[in-house]
């Protein structure tokens, strides 16, 4: 097997390579449909979730920055900054992120054009874009989709460096330098979005390079190291500026995530696929099992794609499969909870071998469609898409309900005189403070940034509200504050906001 992977591929036929470059419209059409689907299904009426308010507030010109915890990286805040700096409109921000997600998918597929027939490349794009997870997070200010795009682009560049023999058409020194630059850029994007993803991706691609990139291993490994270093540099520098060092930040990040270690989270991921955007703790029965069938079939389909790929395309299909395993390992085996978005980089990479497997079923050796197998594949994909859209409908309903509750609580705080500049603390303070235009400060927990007496002293200078969960009373430092019930708060009925006396 290693001999197969390391054997030099046949030179790309220049006419075929030219046709691959020209016939990009099927993949571009899928990317356009992906953006249009977001506009129809996930942009309208959606509100910012908890994590989104944290990321957006870092660059917002209208809301104070929320506490930025150790595991987070600032890559997605850079993507949102051009709009967040200018306007506080969620709709405009959603439209901007939607446009970026469509363009980003096309950019991630671009290195793959000479490697796959246009129909297979478009099918791979559709497989990834049709997941409810991809559609839901497309217009969101969240880092995982950007990490997936960087991983897909970097892997495509590495495959082309590995399989195009020196001197083949389109593989001269200039082309090779551009591909290596693309490899560095893809890894850098992943590192900016999710530093751990970049490290695991580089490990997987490094192993693939040792096997497949014969004669160019040193330069490829150097490009991998450069990409990881450039992408993670900001996160590492911030570790020394804000957290006392890299080791300290990693330790704090692990603590916030519940302690990284040996945690088999396969069942947690299965439970989350029914529409739970965060499964922590991931207990209870496994519901909506039909929504998980595709996930159980995914490894088999990817392995089949590698097995049935033509010899000249085996590296093209095997490398993304190996890289997908590498980026999935930490979320399946080291994190004690699940979120479907964690595996978006793996899904983007596995779309390549799965498309190869489906193409082998539907297409005859000469490239003609086989009517009955094609009809069966199309039927299976339609059923799969129907299930994905049904899950997405439920997820979007929950998003709109929750963001509506946040907005209602913010309106109640405004009615009680809590207006900018102001501070909100307590249960669900981070998203509610964003909706109210206030700063969020916590007196305990992983977001601890102020003590109770300090919060009471702050209340003598600006409006302060303390959100108290149902059945709980205010702490001693807020014993004299006026408490009012909250309308349909994210906490159960009975939650209150304790508002400090007006300053002065």
- 161 pLDDT higher than 50: yes
Provide, rounded to the nearest whole percent, the portion of the chain with pLDDT above 90: 80
Q: pLDDT at position 488, please?
A: 65
Least confident of 33-42, 83-92, 167-176: 167-176
Q: Could you tell me what percent of the chain has a pLDDT over 70?
A: 92
Name the pLDDT band for 504 (thresholds 50, 70, 90): low
Over residues 383-418, the pLDDT tens digits come to 999 999 999 999 999 999 999 999 999 999 999 999
- Bridge partners, residue 498, by sequence: 466, 483
**pLDDT mean over 335-362:** 96
- Per-residue confidence (pLDDT) for residue 96, from 0 to 100: 98
| pLDDT tens readout for residues 243-259 | 999 999 999 999 998 88
pLDDT at 374 over 70: yes
pLDDT tens digits for range 112-149 = 999 999 999 999 999 999 999 999 999 999 999 999 99
Predicted confidence band of residue 492 (pLDDT cuts 50, 70, 90): very low
Does residue 374 or residue 23 have the better pLDDT?
374
The CA distance from 126 to 360, in Å, is: 17
Domain residue ranges of the chain, discontinuous segments joined by +: 2-45+89-362, 405-499
What's the pLDDT at 169?
Answer: 45
Q: What per-residue confidence (pLDDT) applies to 16?
A: 47
| Confidence grade of residue 363 (pLDDT, cut at 50, 70, 90) | confident
CA atoms within 13 A on the CB side of 347: 25
Q: How confident is the model at residue 1 (pLDDT cuts 50, 70, 90)?
A: very low
Lowest mean pLDDT among 73-87, 157-171, 190-204, 381-395: 157-171
Residues 34 and 138: beta-carbon distance below 8 Å = yes
Query: At residue 456, does pLDDT exceed 50?
Result: yes
pLDDT for 14 equals 40
pLDDT value, residue 171: 57
The pair of structure tokens assigned to 327 is 């980026």
Tokens describing residue 323 = 């890289």
* pLDDT at residue 351 in the model: 98
Examine the pLDDT at 366 and tell me if it is beyond 80.
no
- The residues with which 448 forms a beta bridge, in sequence order, are 442
**Pairing between β-strand 496-499 and β-strand 464-468 as defined by DSSP bridges:** antiparallel
What is the structure's pLDDT at 208? 95
pTM of the entire structure?
0.93
Q: Is pLDDT at 7 greater than 60 in this prediction?
A: no
Q: Which of 27-41, 163-177, 450-464 is predicted least confidently?
A: 163-177
Task: Measure the CA–CA gap between 192 and 399, rounded to whole angstroms.
Answer: 26
**Angstrom distance (rounded) from CA 322 to CA 75:** 25
- What is residue 446's predicted lDDT score, i.e. its pLDDT? 86
| Residue 220 to residue 192: CA distance in whole angstroms | 20
Q: What is the average pLDDT score of the chain?
A: 91
Strands 482-485 and 464-468: unpaired
Q: Is 4's pLDDT higher than 80?
A: no
pLDDT at residue 267 greater than cutoff 90: yes
Q: How many CB atoms lie within 10 A of CB 488?
A: 13
**Residue 162 · residue 319 · CB < 8 Å:** yes
Work out the average pLDDT over 286-290: 86
Is 422 strand, coil or helix? coil
What is the arithmetic mean of pLDDT over 179-187? 97
* pLDDT(13) > 50: no
| pLDDT digits 0-9 by tens, 52-74 | 999 999 999 999 999 999 999 99
8 Å CB contact between 231 and 49: no
Count of residues in the chain: 504
């Amino acid at each position: 097997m290693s001999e197969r992977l390391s054997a030099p591929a046949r030179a790309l036929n220049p006419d075929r390579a030219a046709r691959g470059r020209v016939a990009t419209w099927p993949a571009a059409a899928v990317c356009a449909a992906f953006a249009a689907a977001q506009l129809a299904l996930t942009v309208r009426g959606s509100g910012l979730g908890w994590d989104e308010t944290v990321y957006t507030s870092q660059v917002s010109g209208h809301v104070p920055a929320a506490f930025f915890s150790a595991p987070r990286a600032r890559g997605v805040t850079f993507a949102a900054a051009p709009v967040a700096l200018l306007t506080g409109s969620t709709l405009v921000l959603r439209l901007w992120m939607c446009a970026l997600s469509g363009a980003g998918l096309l950019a991630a597929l671009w290195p793959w054009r000479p490697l796959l027939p246009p129909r297979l490349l478009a099918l791979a794009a559709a497989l990834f874009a049709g997941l409810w997870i991809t559609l839901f997070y497309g217009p969101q200010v969240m880092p995982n989709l950007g990490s997936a795009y960087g991983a897909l682009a970097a892997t495509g560049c590495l495959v082309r460096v590995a399989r195009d023999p020196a001197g083949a058409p389109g593989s001269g020194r200039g082309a090779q330098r551009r591909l290596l630059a693309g490899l560095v850029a893809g890894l850098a994007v992943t590192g900016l979005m999710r530093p751990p993803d970049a490290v695991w991706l580089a490990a997987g691609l490094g192993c693939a390079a040792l096997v497949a990139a014969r004669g160019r291993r040193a330069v490829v490994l150097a490009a991998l190291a450069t990409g990881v270093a450039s992408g993670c540099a900001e996160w590492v520098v911030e570790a020394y500026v804000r957290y006392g060092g890299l080791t300290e930040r990693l330790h704090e990040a692990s603590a916030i995530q519940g302690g990284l270690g040996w945690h088999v989270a396969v069942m947690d991921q299965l439970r989350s696929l029914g529409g739970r955007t965060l499964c922590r703790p991931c207990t209870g029965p496994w519901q909506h099992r039909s929504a998980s069938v595709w996930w159980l079939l995914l490894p088999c389909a990817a392995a089949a794609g590698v097995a049935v790929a033509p010899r000249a395309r085996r590296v093209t299909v095997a490398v993304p499969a190996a890289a997908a395993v590498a980026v999935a390992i930490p979320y399946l085996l080291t994190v004690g909870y699940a979120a479907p978005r964690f595996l978006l980089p793996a899904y983007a990479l596995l779309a390549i071998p799965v498309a190869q497997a489906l193409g082998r079923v539907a297409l005859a050796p000469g490239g003609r469609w086989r009517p009955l197998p094609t009809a069966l594949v199309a039927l299976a994909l339609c059923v799969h898409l129907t299930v994905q859209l049904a899950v997405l409908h439920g997820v979007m309903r929950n998003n709109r309900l929750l963001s509506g509750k946040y907005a209602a609580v913010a309106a109640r705080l405004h009615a009680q005189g809590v207006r900018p500049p102001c501070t909100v603390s307590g249960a669900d303070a981070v998203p509610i403070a964003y909706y109210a235009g206030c700063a969020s400060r916590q007196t305990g927990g992983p977001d601890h940034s102020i003590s109770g007496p300090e919060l009471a002293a702050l209340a003598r200078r600006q409006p302060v509200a303390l959100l108290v969960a149902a059945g709980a009373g205010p702490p001693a430092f807020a014993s004299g504050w006026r408490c009012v019930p909250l309308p349909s708060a994210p906490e159960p009925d009975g939650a209150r906001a304790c508002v400090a006396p007006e300053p002065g």
